[in-house]
Amino acid sequence: MIVERQPAALRAALAETIVGQERVIEGLLLALLCNGHVLLEGPPGLAKTLACRSLAAALEGDFKRIQFTPDLLPSDIVGTRIFDQRESAFATVLGPIFANVVLADEINRAPAKVQSALLEAMQERQVTIGPQSYGLPDPFVVMATMNPLDSEGTYALPIAQMDRFLMKVNVGYPSREEELRILDRFAVADTQPVRAVATLDDVRRWRVAAHAVHIDEKLKRYIVDLVAKTREPSEFIDYGASPRATLALAFLARGRALLAERDFALPDDVRAVAPHTLRHRIGFNYRLAAEGISADRIIDGLIAAVPAP
Amino acid sequence: MAQRAAAALALLVVLLAVAPVIGDAQALQRLTVLSFDLGTDTPRPRAGVPFHLTLTLRVRERFGQIANIDLPGLAQLELLGDERETTTTPQGTQYRETVTVVAQNGGTLVISPGTLQAIDARDGKAKQWFSNGLTLHVAGAPSRAVYVAARTLGIALLWLLGIACIVALVVLLARRRRPAPRPVPVPIVPPPPPPAVVRTPRQRAQDALAVLRAERTRSAAIAVRAAIWRMVGASDGETLADVLRRTDSHDRVTRELLVALERSAFTYEEDLRAAIDDACGALERYIEDVA
């Protein structure tokens, strides 16, 4: 049941523009295939915006970027009603959230009310302005970014809000070789435009195909075991991942199988997406920070402790 | 006046003369002596062999300590040790003093009584009590060699007796636990196991291929996958990526085999037959390759 135009082509198109950052590219594609949203955490200057913009361009879709600031209002995102004096009537102006790919830059810099408006829109896939509800475009993918280095004047996202993101990808610095390639590619010319390799209809078809990817019973039990492992008493964990994580793991394993042009998922698919699925859904306690241990190290330990089928 | 002074001086002289007697009488304990005995643990001690003399005093009063007891004269004996014990009960006090002595020469030995000085509680007068005396006949000293031999023999006998007791106890316990005797069947000696044959990877792959061709099911595919994974050194709980990471990247045939087996283990039912065909083909290529 392999569809004609493959999502792998989209990956190849993005890789032509973005050097390295395979995890970011794969995260964006998986979010697109699984109809979810991605939280990207990493320092500035790591091509997060470029990746989102390139994805929208490769799909011939709309791209909007919203810079989150402390004075941002919900209406700045979803839109508002303005009185038109010439027509003597209220006219609705839709906000920047009405796009196929939305980059919510530094989401933790806006107050909780604005974050809540965005996250509700992500969940419901529609917004209400005045008496009227407006459906968001399909596909609709939000890529939210957070800067882990500069936490002053930020509003930390509550864990319930974080849970709405299908996955959280940590964006790291490129390797030396990748950075040399970045120099070669961007030193002379400006950002190379991404060629469109798929349409929004293709994305909708891929989603149907992703839903049809087979997950064996052994693999389902493996997913449940992984999530259950996060709920076991631990020195560093206050609470484990929710059943939403179980669903997310299955969705993402299917999406990854489709990206690999398979119509059945493998244990490798589950294991590869598990860190990005569990990272923001586990409540770590203060001991983790006190002892200087990274959350990813704990998550890697949890994943390694569950034998794959 | 001179007569009065002379009388006072005479009274002072009398008082000074009596004072030590009064003092001694006050230092003595007031006792009701019930018995006062001297005994020995052997009536016929041997020269050179230590023995014990025991002086026992029982009084009605309760004291933590009894004073003014003198041991009998032990001039003919060598004193090796002295142990005193005072026991107080509601019935009174028992004082026991045990001295360890050794006679150096044989012959008759007369031991004088022990003495006790105290105020008799019955009449309030200071008295001296005597225990009984002892007359012992000391035999000559045994030769050293005989003594050592006897001692060694005694120790050996004690050891033998102890070992015999332990053996008897073990036998007794074993008999108690042993079930009722049954007729013992003639033991059937199994044939010795054939020597372990180390099968080559090619033979293992041939086995796997035979299994997969004979039974084209999911369970057979999973079993073959496990066998091939063990063959390439994978452990339980690893994923295909882990195994491929360790496999030589130029070993295309092995990698294709592992991927094909993974597909047959996890694909959907409609694809299973094709996946097993693919796995059989990969096994055949592997067998050719390792040949």
Residue A250's pLDDT is what? 95
Determine the residue type at B179. Answer: P
| Mean pLDDT in residue range B273-287 | 91
DSSP A154: -
Residue A52's pLDDT is what? 84
Q: Give every CB contact of residue B221 below 8 A, 6+ residues apart in sequence.
A: B212, B261, B264, B265, B272, B275, B276, B279
State both tokens at B60. 């009605």
Residue B176's pLDDT is what? 76
On the question of pLDDT at B146 being above 70, the answer is no
pLDDT in tens, B164-197: 989 999 888 888 766 665 666 666 777 777 666 6
| Burial (Cβ within 10 Å: 0-12, 13-18, ≥19) of residue A11 | middle
Residue B5's pLDDT is what? 55
pLDDT confidence of B72, banded at 50, 70, 90?
Answer: confident
On the question of pLDDT at A156 being above 50, the answer is yes
Taking all residues of chain B, what is their mean pLDDT, rounded to a whole number? 82
Q: Say how far apart CA A114 and CA A106 lie, in whole Å.
A: 12
More confidently predicted of B199 and B101: B101
pLDDT in tens, A119-143: 888 888 988 888 888 999 988 999 9
Residue A258's pLDDT is what? 93
Q: How far is A73 from chain B (nearest CA, A)?
A: 47
Determine the residue type at A171. Answer: V
Residue A198's pLDDT is what? 87
Matching residue, tokens 């230092």: B27
Q: Which residues of B touch A267 (CB under 8 A)?
A: 239-240, 266
Q: Which residues of A touch B240 (CB under 8 A)?
A: 266-268
Q: Say how far apart CA A27 and CA A272 lie, in whole Å.
A: 11
Residue A48's pLDDT is what? 81
DSSP collapsed to 3 states, A65-79: EEECCCCCCHHHHHE
On the question of pLDDT at B22 being above 70, the answer is no
Contact B237 A307 (CB under 8 A): yes
Which range has highest mean pLDDT (A23-27, A125-129, A208-212, B131-135)?
A: A208-212
pLDDT in tens, B228-254: 988 888 887 888 888 888 877 778 888
Residue A276's pLDDT is what? 93
State both tokens at A1. 């049941």
Q: Which residues of B touch A272 (CB under 8 A)?
A: 241
pLDDT confidence of A184, banded at 50, 70, 90?
Answer: confident
Matching residue, tokens 């930020």: A154
| Mean pLDDT in residue range B55-65 | 89
Taking CA atoms, what residue in A is nearest to B268? A214
Residues of A with CB under 8 A from a CB of B: 214, 216, 218-219, 262-268, 271-272, 306-308
Q: How far is A109 from chain B (nearest CA, A)?
A: 39
Residue B150's pLDDT is what? 79
Q: For A291-296, which contacts have Cβ atoms below 8 Å and span 24 or more sequence positions?
A: A293/A236, A296/A170
B268/A contact by beta carbon, under 8 A: yes
Q: How far apart, in Å, are the Cα atoms of A143 and each of A31, A257, B21?
A: 9, 22, 118
> Between β-strands A167-170 and A38-41, what pairing exists: parallel, antiparallel or unpaired?
parallel
What does B78-110 look like in DSSP terms, one character per residue? EEEEEEEEEEEETTEEEEEEEEEEEESS-EEEE
Residue A208's pLDDT is what? 93
Residue B185's pLDDT is what? 67
More confidently predicted of B162 and A151: B162
On the question of pLDDT at B288 being above 70, the answer is yes
- Which of B69-73, B131-135, B138-142 has the weakest average pLDDT? B138-142
Residue A191's pLDDT is what? 62
pLDDT confidence of B20, banded at 50, 70, 90?
Answer: very low
Contact B265 A268 (CB under 8 A): no
Residue B196's pLDDT is what? 67
Nearest by CB to residue B266, choosing from A216, A272, A306, is A216
Q: Which residues of B touch A273 (CB under 8 A)?
A: none
| Mean pLDDT in residue range A43-64 | 84
pLDDT confidence of A31, banded at 50, 70, 90?
Answer: very high
Q: Is B115 helix (H, G, I), strand (E, B) or coil?
A: strand
pLDDT in tens, A95-121: 999 999 899 988 888 888 888 888 888
More confidently predicted of B270 and B193: B270
Q: At what angle do helices B218-231 and B269-290 cross, to 10 degrees?
A: 30
Q: Say how far apart CA A265 and CA B266 lie, in whole Å.
A: 7
pLDDT confidence of B198, banded at 50, 70, 90?
Answer: confident
Peptide linkage before A174 cis (omega within 30 of 0) = no
% of chain A surpassing 90 pLDDT: 39
B225/A contact by beta carbon, under 8 A: no
Nearest by CB to residue A271, choosing from B239, B262, B271, is B239
Q: How far is B209 from chain A (nearest CA, A)?
A: 22
Q: Say how far apart CA B33 and CA B123 lie, in whole Å.
A: 12
Question: For chain B, how are helix, strand and coil distributed in percent, rounded to 5?
Answer: 45, 25, 30
Residue B37's pLDDT is what? 92
All domains of chain A in start order, with CATH: 1-189+196-212 (3.40.50.300), 214-309 (1.10.8.80)
Q: How far is B180 from chain A (nearest CA, A)?
A: 50
> Between β-strands A167-170 and A79-84, what pairing exists: parallel, antiparallel or unpaired?
unpaired
More confidently predicted of B12 and B104: B104
Q: Give, for B271, the enclosing helix (H) or strand (E).
A: helix B269-290
pLDDT confidence of A147, banded at 50, 70, 90?
Answer: confident
On the question of pLDDT at B19 being above 60, the answer is no
Q: Give every CB contact of residue B44 below 8 A, 6+ residues apart in sequence.
A: B136, B137, B138, B139
Contact A308 B268 (CB under 8 A): no
